[in-house]
Protein backbone atom coordinates (compact mmCIF):
# COMPACT_ATOMS: atom_id res chain seq x y z
CA UNK A 1 0.00 0.00 0.00
CA UNK A 2 1.11 3.54 -0.70
CA UNK A 3 1.75 5.72 2.28
CA UNK A 4 -0.97 8.24 3.01
CA UNK A 5 0.27 11.83 2.78
CA UNK A 6 -0.94 13.83 5.76
CA UNK A 7 -1.06 17.59 5.92
CA UNK A 8 1.06 18.11 9.03
CA UNK A 9 3.00 21.23 8.11
CA UNK A 10 2.84 23.63 11.04
CA UNK A 11 0.44 21.41 12.99
CA UNK A 12 1.01 21.52 16.75
CA UNK A 13 -1.35 19.42 18.82
CA UNK A 14 -1.64 18.55 22.47
CA UNK A 15 -0.63 14.92 22.88
CA UNK A 16 -1.09 13.10 26.16
CA UNK A 17 0.38 9.71 26.92
CA UNK A 18 -1.94 8.44 29.63
CA UNK A 19 -0.14 5.67 31.48
CA UNK A 20 -2.32 3.37 33.56
CA UNK A 21 -0.31 0.16 33.64
CA UNK A 22 2.55 -1.01 35.84
CA UNK A 23 5.95 -1.69 34.23
CA UNK A 24 7.61 -5.10 33.70
CA UNK A 25 4.47 -7.24 34.20
CA UNK A 26 3.38 -6.22 30.70
CA UNK A 27 5.21 -4.48 27.86
CA UNK A 28 2.88 -1.46 27.63
CA UNK A 29 4.99 0.92 29.72
CA UNK A 30 8.16 0.19 27.74
CA UNK A 31 6.57 0.44 24.31
CA UNK A 32 4.63 3.62 25.13
CA UNK A 33 7.91 5.13 26.27
CA UNK A 34 9.36 4.34 22.85
CA UNK A 35 6.45 6.26 21.32
CA UNK A 36 7.02 9.18 23.67
CA UNK A 37 10.66 9.43 22.60
CA UNK A 38 9.70 9.38 18.91
CA UNK A 39 7.02 12.03 19.48
CA UNK A 40 9.73 14.46 20.60
CA UNK A 41 10.93 14.72 17.01
CA UNK A 42 7.58 16.15 15.88
CA UNK A 43 7.55 19.32 18.01
CA UNK A 44 4.13 18.67 19.50
CA UNK A 45 2.90 19.74 22.94
CA UNK A 46 3.54 16.45 24.71
CA UNK A 47 2.67 15.58 28.28
CA UNK A 48 2.72 12.34 30.26
CA UNK A 49 0.13 11.43 32.85
CA UNK A 50 0.53 8.65 35.38
CA UNK A 51 -2.68 7.34 36.91
CA UNK A 52 -3.78 4.03 38.44
CA UNK A 53 -0.92 1.47 38.28
CA UNK A 54 0.83 3.79 35.83
CA UNK A 55 2.34 5.56 38.84
CA UNK A 56 4.50 2.46 39.39
CA UNK A 57 6.29 3.22 36.09
CA UNK A 58 8.33 5.99 37.67
CA UNK A 59 9.39 4.25 40.87
CA UNK A 60 12.96 4.81 42.07
CA UNK A 61 15.16 1.80 42.62
CA UNK A 62 13.85 -0.60 39.97
CA UNK A 63 16.39 -3.40 39.46
CA UNK A 64 15.74 -6.07 36.83
CA UNK A 65 19.02 -7.94 37.49
CA UNK A 66 17.28 -11.09 38.70
CA UNK A 67 14.70 -11.25 35.90
CA UNK A 68 15.23 -13.11 32.62
CA UNK A 69 17.16 -10.08 31.45
CA UNK A 70 14.32 -7.61 31.02
CA UNK A 71 15.59 -4.19 30.04
CA UNK A 72 15.53 -1.76 32.94
CA UNK A 73 13.98 1.26 31.27
CA UNK A 74 13.20 3.20 34.43
CA UNK A 75 16.12 5.57 33.93
CA UNK A 76 14.76 6.54 30.51
CA UNK A 77 12.14 8.68 32.26
CA UNK A 78 14.99 10.85 33.53
CA UNK A 79 16.20 11.33 29.97
CA UNK A 80 12.88 12.80 28.83
CA UNK A 81 13.97 16.25 29.92
CA UNK A 82 16.70 16.12 27.28
CA UNK A 83 13.97 15.61 24.69
CA UNK A 84 12.10 18.69 25.97
CA UNK A 85 9.38 16.48 27.44
CA UNK A 86 8.97 18.10 30.81
CA UNK A 87 5.24 17.97 31.49
CA UNK A 88 4.84 14.96 33.75
CA UNK A 89 1.71 14.68 35.86
CA UNK A 90 0.76 12.21 38.57
CA UNK A 91 -2.77 11.88 39.88
CA UNK A 92 -2.71 12.41 43.65
CA UNK A 93 -5.47 9.89 44.38
CA UNK A 94 -3.70 7.08 42.46
CA UNK A 95 -0.40 7.89 44.19
CA UNK A 96 -1.89 7.95 47.68
CA UNK A 97 -3.98 4.83 47.11
CA UNK A 98 -0.68 2.99 46.59
CA UNK A 99 0.97 4.41 49.69
CA UNK A 100 3.37 6.49 47.62
CA UNK A 101 4.62 10.06 47.74
CA UNK A 102 6.66 12.22 45.37
CA UNK A 103 9.83 10.98 47.10
CA UNK A 104 9.28 7.55 45.54
CA UNK A 105 9.57 8.83 41.99
CA UNK A 106 12.67 8.81 39.79
CA UNK A 107 11.67 12.07 38.05
CA UNK A 108 10.21 15.42 39.03
CA UNK A 109 6.47 15.37 38.53
CA UNK A 110 3.51 17.63 39.17
CA UNK A 111 1.07 15.92 41.51
CA UNK A 112 -2.49 17.03 40.80
CA UNK A 113 -5.88 15.95 42.14
CA UNK A 114 -8.30 13.90 40.02
CA UNK A 115 -10.45 16.93 39.19
CA UNK A 116 -7.45 18.73 37.67
CA UNK A 117 -6.35 15.58 35.88
CA UNK A 118 -9.84 15.29 34.38
CA UNK A 119 -9.60 18.85 33.06
CA UNK A 120 -6.11 18.19 31.69
CA UNK A 121 -7.28 15.04 29.88
CA UNK A 122 -10.34 16.83 28.49
CA UNK A 123 -8.14 19.54 27.01
CA UNK A 124 -6.02 17.21 24.85
CA UNK A 125 -6.21 16.80 21.09
CA UNK A 126 -4.82 13.27 21.11
CA UNK A 127 -4.74 10.85 24.05
CA UNK A 128 -2.67 7.71 23.67
CA UNK A 129 -3.64 5.52 26.56
CA UNK A 130 -2.07 2.30 27.77
The footprint of other proteins (CB under 8 A) covers: 1-4, 6-8, 11, 13, 15, 18, 20, 27-28, 31, 34-35, 38-39, 41-42, 44, 51-52, 91, 93, 114, 117-119, 121-122, 124-130
Distance of closest approach, residue 61 Cβ to other proteins, in angstroms: 25
Q: Which is nearer to other proteins, 31 or 108 (CB)?
A: 31
Distance of closest approach, residue 96 Cβ to other proteins, in angstroms: 13
Q: Which is nearer to other proteins, 43 or 81 (CB)?
A: 43
Closest to 88 in 3D by CA, of 43, 122, 58:
58
Q: Does residue 33 contact residue 130 with C-beta atoms inside 8 Å?
A: no
Q: Which is nearer to other proteins, 39 or 106 (CB)?
A: 39
The dihedral sign for the CA sequence 107, 111, 45, 122: positive
Furthest C-alpha separation in the chain: 50
66 CA to centre of own chain: 25
Distance of closest approach, residue 108 Cβ to other proteins, in angstroms: 22
Q: Which is nearer to other proteins, 65 or 122 (CB)?
A: 122
63-68: long-range pairs with CB below 8 Å, 24+: 64/24, 67/24
Distance of closest approach, residue 43 Cβ to other proteins, in angstroms: 10
- DSSP bridge partners of 36: none
- DSSP bridge partners of 89: 49, 110
Amino acid sequence: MAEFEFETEGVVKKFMFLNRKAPYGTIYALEVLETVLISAAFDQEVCLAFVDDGVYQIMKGCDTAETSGMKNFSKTYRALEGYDIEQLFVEKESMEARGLSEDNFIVDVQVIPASEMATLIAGQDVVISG
